[in-house]
A and B are shown apart, each in its own frame.
Chain A
Amino acid sequence: MKGYHLGELEELVLLIVGILNQEAYGVSVAEEIKSQTGRKVNISAIHTVLNRLEEKGFLKSHMGGATEERGGRRKRLFSLSASGRAAINEVKLVRNRLYDQLPPLALDFSNG
């Protein structure tokens, strides 16, 4: 757990950026979150998270991929950095470890 502080939305965005692989930018992240989880997240919130993750070093970005819809403006495309990948793994490990310690639910009658 040392150093990897990830909020819930941060973790989600980090995962989605990883999934989108080279095609992750504000709008596509928002769309992906909506289609994968059904959650509607405001675009400005996603921007904030993306920028914060980049500041923490979990994401790296470059400009590219101008389209007509954007009025010729380029996108800021994000991708996972090594430490980002490590953070996901770390979070997942912690999750799994914690999960494994959950007592079995309905089948255990010993304390009943």
Chain B
Amino acid sequence: MDKKRHYYPPKLADRFLEFYCVPERLEQIQGDAYEIFYLDLEEKGLTYARLRFIFHVFSFFKWSNIGFSKFMHQRNNTGVMIRSYFKIGWRNILKQKGTTFISVFGLSCAVGCCIVAYLFIANIWFKGLNQPNKDELYQLVYTAEEADGLVTYGTVAQPISELIPNNLNQVKDHTRIMMEFPLLIQNNESFYQRTLYVDPSYMDMFKYRMEYGYPGALREADQVILTHQLSEKLFGDKHPIGQELSLVVDGEEKLFKVGGVLEDLKDMDMFNFDLLVNFESHPGAANDASLKDAWSKELWTFIQVEEGADISRIESDLGEITKIQNQVDPENPYVKMGLIAYPDIIYNVGKIEKGVRDFLGIGPQILLGTIGLFILLLAVFNYINLSVLMASKRLKEIGVRKVIGSKRSQLIFQFLSENLLVCFFAIFLGCMMAGFIFLPGFNDIASKNLQIDLFRDKNIWIFLGALLLAVTLITGLYPASYLSSFKPISILKGNQKIGSKSVFTSVLLSFQFTLAIISMVAAIAFVQTNYINANRDWGYSSADKIIVNVPDSKDYVPLRNKLSALSSVVEVSGSQDYVGNWITEKEVEFGDEKYSINFLNAESNYPELLDLELKQGRMFNSDLITDTQESLLVNQTFLDQFGLVFPLDQTVKIDSANYHVIGVVEDFHTEFFKNAIEPMAISASPDSVFNYLTLKMNPGSAEGSMDAVKKIWHETVPMGLFEGKLQTEVFEREIADANGVSKLISFSATLSVILALLGLFGLVSLNMTAHIKDYCVRKVFGADIGDLSKKLLKRYLIIWGIAALIGGIFSIYFISSFLDSFFAFNSGVGIIPIGFALVILLIVIIGTVSSQIWKVIKANPAVILKSE
């Protein structure tokens, strides 16, 4: 008989029996089966008994015994049961307003961050996929043999699209697409705008919702279609249809009428453009261009195939076109032409040159994804910790329910349904937060146009649903299965202790602290870097200088003369590029070796005008003819990188001309601190024509003279966009970018500290409520504040120590590589960021714990110990 206590019939078979048997026969059948099982167990052993039990269960599986009682029974009650689960859950939530607030607030912040991160990433990967014809659209590409192997290009020769109707079957439509930045003039204002020159069939292949006008407007060669944004920028509240604007291409001005306006694209279209123009109105499309010229021009070509078309056949038909192309233009032979499905374009970024999309921006995606995940983890851990602890108040409920006969699965369902309620609220609030607080802020920082589009974007619903499910399960499964595993007898006896000191809680807490430390270190290091860079010496004097662009070479001389005549201008110098912007790269040769350097061509007074600091040698002397023909100034990096010493004993060769290095200047920042300083050479040219003019102004007059300069510029240059700026402002956009990122990281660090704080506060205060009698007894026996706080603080300080160690090591490795990827010049992760982060966290911990100790100090032991 002893065996009975240890052995049971096989569970699965038993369940199966319970599952199928009609209820009125179940007791009798199951009882008999059990009885035989124990008889067999005594006579023949366990295995035999189990096998026979299984055999019996199957032999009872007869029509008269089958009723699927459990199944039928449950179906009748599920509605009521689920309703009561949620009712109990709702009451519990209301009962614990404080902790519920902490959980919901934390989770909704996290959900908000995740939504922003998701939208940002989805915006990159799902861009353009809302086109209804997306499965029928293909882009033509070709592969060519190059010096370094086969290269695939996303563009094909312009006349190829004319061959499509005759050579390809099953193709419904095709369009050429060419992107240009012509100057747009409207109402005496000019802008550079992204313009797509397309065939009218473009509007049939790609569908857009129109705000005004109709998609067919492009069939008229003199009509354009604007995006919502551009129309608002140009015409404001005026009705845009029929308004006039002109575009300047290759110096030719052409008048257009607005034929339509697209609804807001919300940044979700495959192509980035501001206006669509009929391809025929582009000067390059004119038929008088020679055949050769037309073939050497390449552009994007898209086709729309008929439904169910055989793609492999079309691809083989492309062979014909390849042949024709190679006959007409034998200098650029195509190896092969191919098709890329429209939805696959995004996956071919990097594999295709000159494609529609050429930039994925993995870095920001990882950054945002990590931030979202960090915050979500913090909030989830808070919730897990708190819900386990909160359940200590519900132990009796669990015990009673178990005694009355609820199964473990039912208890788990109860807890999960409460979780579902909380998570549902959190996601709802998170959407609101993302929509009204996070997204506007983020769009501002990142100059994006992200929106939560619940009506049209079905992916966001999938995302939110998956998030709800994942968060509910992650936060719910551990507490639910832990709490429901208690034995009712020990709960009701009062033996069951819920471990507020459990290892699990401590692990989660140290993880939270670690995350908080890492994000704080990132933020502090970033802000520190920004601060240092803001005060960094640029290597030259940027004050009192204005840079002016010269769009047309024929305007150069008059413009230079007129600007020199201005009273506040001290000196004028022309340059091919300007310091503070991207500079032409050239290959330089010494002897046999070749290197790539930045090469700045300028007037001979340019280095002096910029106040570059001379280190060795001399500056250019405009009176010496050799200086304007075969002399170079180089920067220090030039010497360091190539291991040279001034004076050089050899000449350097650039574009097959020999140069002498006559002087070395200190390094200066031609590009933002994001990039390292490149080796650079400056050459002086005699009175040639340059792209930019740099004006040295009287001290303090630069900003004030901007208007006068702009006026002169417009008087001299009839058509063009004035892009003058102060030399001090050349890095303005990069600085704004860096500040944006720094704001983003600071925000997430603040959020993660707040979440860690809330979680800690919840834990400590629940702990305190549970043990207040304990502390009061200690107080009665004479424990002073020191003893009490030591007892409370000790554990959290140990966790802080562990988190500090892990977080510190992680930050040193990851945050410094993160900084390196953003700035070539950064402060590194030193003692300041780590120290600050640790101290802030310590203050937060001590503050939270002391607020609870204060509660004990204020408490009157008599009242607390008396009450029961």
Contact = CB atoms under 8 A, between A and B. Distances in A.
B59 A42 contact: yes
A26 B28 contact: yes
A27 B32 contact: yes
B33 interface: yes
Interface of A: 25-27, 42-45, 47-48, 51, 63, 66-71, 73-76
A14 B62 CA distance: 22
B868 to A, nearest CB: 38
Interface residues of B, number: 20
A32 to B, nearest CB: 14
B62 A70 contact: no
Of the candidates B29, B35, B59, the one having the most CB atoms from chain A within 10 angstroms of its own CB is: B35
Nearest to A42: B59
15 contacts: A25-B32, A44-B62, A47-B65, A63-B28, A66-B31, A67-B35, A69-B35, A70-B31, A73-B28, A73-B34, A74-B27, A75-B31, A75-B32, A76-B27, A76-B28
B778 interface: no
B4 interface: yes
Given A27-B32, A66-B31, 17 more contacts: A26-B28, A43-B32, A43-B33, A43-B36, A43-B56, A45-B59, A47-B29, A47-B60, A69-B4, A69-B35, A69-B39, A70-B30, A70-B31, A70-B35, A73-B28, A74-B31, A75-B31
B66 to A, nearest CB: 13
B64 interface: yes
A4 to B, nearest CB: 22
Interface in B41-90: 56, 59-60, 62, 64-65
B800 interface: no
A79 B56 CA distance: 24
Interface of B: 4, 25, 27-36, 38-39, 56, 59-60, 62, 64-65
Nearest to A47: B29
A73 B59 contact: no
Nearest to B30: A73
A51 B22 CA distance: 14
B59 A43 contact: yes
A79 to B, nearest CB: 15
Nearest to A50: B28
Contacts of A47: 28-29, 32, 60, 65
Contacts of B34: 69-71, 73
B60 A44 contact: yes
B144 to A, nearest CB: 79
Contacts of A76: 27-28
B64 A69 contact: no
B59 A27 contact: no
B382 to A, nearest CB: 44
Given A43-B36, A44-B56, A73 B62 contact: no
A74 B29 CA distance: 10
Which 10 pairs from chain A and chain B are nearest by CB? Answer: A73-B31, A70-B31, A44-B59, A26-B32, A76-B28, A69-B38, A44-B60, A69-B35, A27-B35, A73-B27
Contacts of A71: 30-31, 34
Contacts of B56: 43-44
Nearest to B38: A69
B27 A27 contact: no
Contacts of B35: 27, 67, 69-70
Nearest to A66: B31
Contacts of A25: 28, 32
Contacts of A68: 4
Nearest to B29: A47
Contact of A27 (B36, B60, B62, B64): B36
A73 B29 CA distance: 10
Nearest to A61: B28
A46 to B, nearest CB: 9
Contact of A75 (B4, B28, B36, B65): B28
Contacts of A74: 27-28, 31
Contact of B64 (A26, A42, A48, A63): A48
Contacts of B59: 42-45
Contacts of A75: 28, 31-32
Nearest to B26: A73
A77 to B, nearest CB: 10
A66 B31 CA distance: 9
Contacts of A63: 27-28
A67 B38 CA distance: 12
A87 to B, nearest CB: 22
Contacts of B64: 48, 51
Nearest to B60: A44
Contacts of B33: 43
A45 to B, nearest CB: 8
A66 B684 CA distance: 110
